[in-house]
Amino acid sequence: RMSSLPKTMKAVQIQRTGGTDVLQFKTDVPLPQPEEGEVLIKNEFIGINYIDTYFRSGVYSPPSFPYILGREGAGIVAAVGTNAPSDLSIGTRVAYMGQYAYAEYTPVASNYTVALPDSIDTKTAAASLLQALTAVTLIREAYAVQKGDWILVTAAAGGVGLWLCQLLRAVGARTIATASTEEKRQLAKENGAEVALEYHEDDRDVFVKKVLEITGGEGVHAVFDSVGKSTFDSSLAVVRRKGTMASFGNASGPVTGFALARLSAKNVKLVRPTLFNYIATREEFQEAAKELWKFIEKDGLNVKIHSMYPLEDVVKATRDIEGRRTTGKLLLKP
């Protein structure tokens, strides 16, 4: 069913992968129709995630071209496809994860769309969902964090990073944060990190020695590493015996050519998780979202919004996040 909707919309498309020059802001993209089991969302806020840069640059492959970037947003249900669940009727305030979010309207699988409780405003939902759920699933599933554990978090002042710092404090873990500037390290501490370090990429031994000193010579129980290529070796070096190395991002490039036998030096568990495979069903997604709203309402966790950019300023927003000039969440306003 469609109510009175426009025929075309604003959207950011790419025709091929490449640098920020492939980003095209268009005003005449045909309005998508919701297919079976889908709802069409009128976006009020669009969330920017680092993964959007992988699909633009070619680190990950877009399924087809032209491709509309963007994997989360929040707004109002504008139309429903056949067999969409009854709690997602036209006019419902929702947040979602999916594809094609850099647009005025986005068709989304109802499995990845959640109706928002009154206590969660639409902007907070768009600014939280994907990055915060990533953090929640990391601390629950990638490594089940225990009170008192030492945890290393990379890019700790970023979107996912600030959620990890806050969540780890909420569950009583002790966080060692890394970030590239003093301002970012300060922010990580304000959000719950006990210690904040430089990466020391030019001298891994200095970094390893510092972490070992902080952890009484043992190393950390787990690392949540999103930087990938440039930090993988130092992260693995500071995991304690029987600890967990969770590598969940490629901000500096993907980790390749890893020799499995290296794990046996300390019987380390290595995981390379992705959020979507932790919350693949409607039930898992709804449960995870509920847990997140609870963290926001009861534990007072919050999202730091770096900036909200008009959709047409997508190139600037992208350059800011890729240029490591941001902290917390970037939003686009259609």
Q: How far is the CB of 20 from ligand NDP (least distance, A)?
A: 13
Shorter beta-carbon distance to ligand NDP: residue 70 or 249 = 249
Q: Which residues bind ligand NDP (CB under 6 A)?
A: 49-51, 131, 134, 155, 157-161, 179-180, 184, 226-227, 248-252, 273-275, 321-322, 324, 326
Shorter beta-carbon distance to ligand NDP: residue 68 or 275 = 275
Q: How far is the CB of 131 from ligand NDP (least distance, A)?
A: 5
Shorter beta-carbon distance to ligand NDP: residue 42 or 60 = 60
Q: How far is the CB of 123 from ligand NDP (least distance, A)?
A: 17
What strands, in cross-sheet order, belong to the sheet with 174-178? 195-197, 174-178, 150-153, 220-225, 239-247, 269-271
Shorter beta-carbon distance to ligand NDP: residue 68 or 160 = 160
Shorter beta-carbon distance to ligand NDP: residue 179 or 236 = 179
Question: Does residue 334 sit in helix, strand or coil?
Answer: coil
Question: At what angle are helices 314-322 and 50-57 packed, to 10 degrees?
Answer: 100
Shorter beta-carbon distance to ligand NDP: residue 79 or 130 = 130
Question: Does residue 123 sit in helix, strand or coil?
Answer: helix
For residue 205, give both structure tokens.
Answer: 């031994």
Q: 310 vs 27, 75, 82, 153, CA distance in Å?
A: 13, 16, 33, 31
Q: How far is the CB of 330 from ligand NDP (least distance, A)?
A: 8
Residue 275 φ/ψ, nearest 5 degrees = -50, -45
Q: How far is the CB of 231 from ligand NDP (least distance, A)?
A: 7
**Cα(first)–Cα(last) distance of the chain, in Å?**
23
Residue type, 171: V
| Residue, CB closest to ligand NDP | 158
Shorter beta-carbon distance to ligand NDP: residue 84 or 275 = 275
Q: 134 vs 21, 48, 314, CA distance in Å?
A: 29, 14, 23
Q: How far is the CB of 104 from ligand NDP (least distance, A)?
A: 22
Name, in order, each residue with C-beta under 8 angstroms of 85's C-beta and a sequence gap of 6 or more: 110, 282
Q: How far is the CB of 42 from ligand NDP (least distance, A)?
A: 24
